[in-house]
Structure 1
Amino acid sequence: MQISDLYLLNLPQASVYYLPNWLNASRASDLEQRLRDELDWHQGDVKVFGRWHKTPRLQAWHGDPDVQYRYSGKTLNAMPWTPALDNLRFELQKMDIATNAVLANLYRDGNDKMGWHSDNEPELGEQPVIASVSLGAERDFLLRHRKLQHKCSLTLKHGSLLVMSGDTQHYWQHSLPVRKKVSESRINLTFRRLRD
């Protein structure tokens, strides 16, 4: 399977691909439980408009030795790959998606969220490829163009794969809003390649 085998969303100035059943339900559920147990989840801090706040989700950062990621005024040092994460990384490599790190987010319920942002930090390069694997509760993933009035909403399914590449991060922002009716948890893995 290649990226071109995924469903391409019709968005201007973006290359966003989606495959709702990349992992079958049984494997996705097993993986969700393994990651819940294997990863060293923690609640970090984020700087918003000059003030520090608790991150509204739990996180874990894994990758190659000495890989660091800087965003929102903080630096994350990568923990080693776990067997489950390394296996997913290998499967993405077979699709020509090269990664050296993954940011894992655990949304404990529908109150946990991710605000509007772009993955456009300099260490990700000019046209970053972000491969996002979703496990657990279905949540709405929103996209909005920075200048045009275009918006898009996509429900990320259990076991799905979303790939953002090309100029997407230059022209689009994305978020995962609060959904108070959601009581189940969700794990999201965003695989990426950071430059030296």
Structure 2
Amino acid sequence: MEEALQIEAARRDPAQFRPLYEKYYSTIFRFVYRRVDDKELTADLTSQVFLQALMHLPRYEVRAVPFSAWLYRIATNEVLQFFRKQNRVGVVRQVMIGEELVSELHEEGEEKERLVERLALTLEKLSEQEVQLIELRFYEQMSFRDIGYTLRITENNAKVRTYRLLEKMKKYMLGLS
């Protein structure tokens, strides 16, 4: 509820956007950095994300999705727009592996170090969109609803894609053991 009040205050007075900026800056910065692997560029793109958010704040609907999911969508768009302009393919950094993902893929009796090693090799085989889905679910710990909103797909589609991707990863990892 406090966030909704902050959003309303920022709509009336752009100077009131600061608490939202401070709350989400580092999260969005890390999200962008994992895609571009350049701190200066990340700072520029992250600033652009917040500029876009401030400019389009009147269109944001508080009840539709969390503010953070809205920012992730803007960040995704900014990164994609940058890569399109540059005719570059995004750098996919190794995902910071969350405990939930490790436990999801863990086989009985397997050492975690070996699992993390195989997981890193598996992530290299995935498309950028697949890695993004894994990051949103297991590193950012987003709900399927928020993932759907961020990726412009339905909540159900986000679930299906995630579980299919996990199965694909398990099959690939079995081939590495």
Q: Answer yes or no: same fold by TM over 0.5.
A: no
Structure 2 length as normaliser, TM-score? Answer: 0.27
Largest Rg, 1 or 2: 2
Q: Hey, which of these two has a bigger chunk of helix by percent?
A: 2
Which structure has the highest strand share of the two? 1
TM-score scaled by length of structure 1: 0.25
Which structure exhibits the higher relative contact order, with contacts defined as CA atoms closer than 8 Å and separated by 6 or more residues?
A: 1
